Each structure stands twice: as structure tokens, then as C-alpha cells.
Structure 1
């Protein structure tokens, strides 16, 4: 190492040492000034004599704090009463869905669901019912045993133990349209169904303000079928990227409206699935549970008696087959109408 290089290195080393020393000195002087300031402040505080607050000021502050605590207590009590009331309503609601007449059934859709009268319980009930149906869409498709492709239009009557029964209707079609185009074409037509505008009986829209707070694409209505029976239908639309579901189903009773002497569970799902950019599958699932009259679930044989059908001459093993034929015949016009609504293949021509 030559002499010039050594001198330059020593110079730079000394410069760095000097800069570090000056920085540390500046930091220590700053800390010293801060400490002196703190000592001066503390000394002045020690020389100040404490002054006792007048009793009037103390009493006023305590009174104010007492009022605030009482207000807080009252708000907490009101909140408690509200939550307790809701829990009682929901407990009663859950209890109302217990087995009717203690008849053992294998399908939970037979259970009666009552819409309670309390405003908060009504809102929770309407939201829960439609969410429950929506999250059971795949289950209903599986129960309907749809094929993966092709056209389907049929009705099946399913017999359970103890004479219990239910009806499943199903429709499946496909069209060469995007999901968005299919939705745009069918939206208003399906909503006519949800609003009850295509039914023979008139519908009365209920709880509009409450329903709007849940979902803009939702409706609750009463359709009076007879003096003894009303369908309290709640409908809703659910849209995701690759699927659209329109659905509606009925409560057994509404605590604020005429009591149903007879009723039956009715549920419907309109399902659109994107198969490809320009290919959409449309499905309709229709479900009817057994009729319930004055709290008693009718077996299929009971239902036959109400229709006036004479099966006395029909062998026991053939009676259910006869009942199936009657149901299929009764449902066929409805399925034909829905098939015509949903079958968009003619638009491709």
C-alpha cells in the first residue's frame, strides 16, 4: 500500500469517527435539555398547593354520573328485553315446527312452519325460510334424480311409511343462449309466477316494508284458495355468476292472518345453470307434501277418500298405483304450462 492511499484511508476513518462523535454529542445534549425541562416542570408542580373542589361541584358530578349510569342501565334492560323477546318468539317458532299430532314422518319438509306475529320474528322468519330453501336447492335436484342432459317433464308420487306421501314434479330443458340472455327473457315471466299473477285465485301482497329490508328481489303474499285454506307464499331470487335460482314456498300459518284449517307444504325452484358461454340449462322442481286438515296429516288413502274416488273394487296392491295415476293426470296441465314457459328451443330456430 503506497503512502497516499494510506493517508486517504486514515483521513476517511477519522472523518467518520468525528461525525459519529458529533452525532452522539448532539443526541446527549438533546436528552439533557429534555431532562432539565422535565425536572423544572415537576418542581413547579410540587410548589402548587392542591385545591379541594367545592362540595357542590362534587355532588353535581356524582349526580351527572348517576343519571348516565341509570340511562345506560335502562338501555341495557331494553336490549335484554328485546333479545329475550326475540329468543322466546324463535323458540315458539321452532316448537311450532314439531311433528303434527306426533305422527312419525321421514321427511322434514312435512313439518309445519308458522310465521310469527312479532315484527322482528317475522323478518327473521321470512329471511330464514327463503335462505333455507335456497341452500337446499342442490338437495332437491338430487332428490328429483335429474339426468345430466336431455329433456325431462314428469310427475312422481313417492310413498313413505305409515301412508305418508309427497309429489315431485320436474322439468329440464336446455337452450343455446347465454345465462344472461336466458335470465333476461325469463325474469319477468317467472316473477309473474312468484307474484301469483298466473294463478286463478287473487293474491294479496303482505309485509312490503319488512320484505324490502331483507332483499329487493323478494315478495311475501297470501293467496286464498278457499274459506279454510290460504297459501302464505314467500318468494325470492338469488343470482350468482353461473347460476340463478327463483324460488317460493308457503308457511303453514301466519299469526297475523286467518288460520288455515287445512294446508299442504308447497315449494318451487326455478334453476338456471351456465353450461357454456352460449348454453344454459333450465330446471324446475315442484314439491307438494301431504295435505293437513285440522292438524292431522292425511295418508294417500285419506286423500283418495276426500276426492270421492271409490277404490273398494281395486286390489290393495294396486290402490297406490291408481292414486299415482290420478295425481299425474291432475298435475299434467300445470307441467305443460310450465314446460311451454321454460322451453326456449323455439327461439333458436
Structure 2
């Protein structure tokens, strides 16, 4: 389903327009009518790297991300290894994330053709065999790599992460969301809580974006890439 929705999601979130951005990764916080959050990361860049090298770099980065390598965690465990062995380039990993406590079960897969590679993934929270024991977020990502030349690749990326949800999939209140994110709203007037938490979330996400960019850049250097992401 994620693969079939790729173009629609990139269009809906304006990923194509990110090609004009001067930032490596653009970030925004969307607030719904129900006062819940949606955190969005996106980028469209061209890199002076063959599709094959860019694909290997993205795969390395996503393996680190989907197995909890970017977070403080208690554990990470690959699930259903035998069951998924017949599906090429597919992983299902459970990570017990800390600060705040969050269960992440990423199911991810790469689809490739001669001139294109698409990586998709999402947090699976409706697993009847493994009920959610902690708070969680809806998480999904799309990476689309198109060959633009022998040594050039167009990279489009979209990450969407939801407000924290209870094990029963109910959005946490602002006070709870804030406390779990390290933002104390208990002394903040109710009408100002949403603005303060949004500001805090922006600062926290900026640090995560910096970490993402640094990790991606380090990986690129490992592959011998010294050019710009434009």
C-alpha cells in the first residue's frame, strides 16, 4: 500500500517543491483541528552519484534508522525473519525506544528497477500477535531515487511522524505529550500550551534533522562522495 501511495504522498506534502529549498532537509509541524501534531521531514536533492551508489547509501542509512540506530533504546530485535526471507530487501524490526518510551515496529522494503529505487516503511502498531505495550507514534517514510545520468541521481524523501498515541491508539493530551518530550506545560496557561509545545517540538526536531543530515553526510563520505547535495 505504501508503494502504491508514493506519488500521492509526495504530492500531498509538497515534496516536489522542496527542490527549491536551500536546506538539506525541510521540517514542519502540522497541527490538526483536534490539536494533535504531525511532524514532517522532506527533501528533494540531486547528487553527483550513480543510482547504484546512492541506493546503497540510502539502504545503509535506512537500516540504521529502522533498527533504532538513531535513538536511545533498550533493545532492537528483528521479527519474522524466516517468514520475510522470501521477500527481497524486506525487514521488520522492533525497537524499544527511550526518552520518551515508545515501541517502534518498522516494516520496510525496497523496490527497484533499472532506473529507479523506492524505499518505503511504516510503524506496524496493529499486530494482533504483539499488542502495543507502550506509547507509540504512527511513522512512515518514502525515499524515491531516480537515475538522472550515469553519475547523477535525483533523491526525494518524505518522513511523517504522528503525535504520541496511547497503547489503545488514543492521542495523548498536550500535558502528557509535552512531559514525554521534556516540555513542562503544567504552569503554562491552557491557551498558550499548544504554541509552547509546538515551539519545543520545532527545536527538538531541528536537532534530529541535524543528526539525520550528519549521519547521511558521514555515510556519503564512506562511499567516497565529496560533492554537494543540491
Fold match (TM-score > 0.5): yes
How much does 1:189 deviate?
Answer: 3.5
| Pairing 1:1-349 to 2, within 5 Å after superposition | 132-146=1-15, 147=17, 149-150=19-20, 151-152=22-23, 153-201=25-73, 202-213=75-86, 215-225=87-97, 229-257=102-130, 259-295=132-168, 296-300=170-174, 303-304=177-178, 307-310=182-185, 313=188, 316=191, 319-343=193-217, 347-348=226-227
More displaced stretch, 299-308 vs 203-212: 299-308
1:308: how far off?
4.9
- Cα distance, 1:301 vs. partner? 5.9
- TM superposition shift of 1:292: 1.6
Structure 2 alignment gaps of length 5 or more: none
Find the structure with the greater CA-based Rg. 1
2:159 and 2:54 mapped to 1: Cα distance? 20
Per-residue deviation, 1:234: 0.8
Once the two structures are TM-superposed, the CA of residue 196 in structure 1 deviates from its matched residue by 3.3
What is the alpha-carbon root mean square deviation over aligned residues? 3.0
CA distance in 2, matches of 1:192, 1:244: 18
| Cα distance per residue 1:266-290 (max 9 Å; x no partner) | 1122332223443212233221112
Per-residue deviation, 1:291 = 1.6
Query: By how many angstroms is 1:251 displaced?
Result: 1.4
Unaligned 5+ segments in structure 1 are: 1-131
Post-superposition offset of 1:336: 1.4
Go from structure 1 to structure 2 and tell me whether the alpha carbon gap of 1:310 and 1:282 turns closer, same or farther (over 3 Å shift): same
| Aligned residue-pair number | 216
Kindly state the Cα deviation for residue 300 of structure 1 after the two structures are TM-superposed. 4.4
1:264 is paired with a residue whose SS is coil
In the TM superposition, what whole-angstrom CA distance separates every residue of 1:151-176 from its partner, at most 9, and x where no partner exists?
Answer: 43232111111223311112333212
Give TM-score, length-normalised by structure 2: 0.77
How far has the Cα of 1:188 moved from its partner?
2.9
Paired residue secondary structure (2:19): coil
- Residue 109 of structure 2 aligns to a residue in which SS? strand
CA distance in 2 between partners of 1:149 and 1:186 (Å)? 18
Q: Describe the shift of the 1:148–1:244 C-alpha distance in structure 2 as closer, same or farther (beyond 3 A).
A: same
Deviation, 1:341, is 3.8
CA distance in 2, matches of 1:311, 1:225: 25
Question: Contact (CA 8 Å) 2:67, 2:94: kept in 1 or not?
Answer: no
Indicate the SS of the match to 1:321: helix
Distance in 2 of aligned mates of 1:288 and 1:148: 18
Q: Larger deviation: 165-174 or 190-199?
A: 190-199
Larger strand share, 1 or 2: 2
Q: Is the 8 A contact 2:18 2:42 kept in 1?
A: no
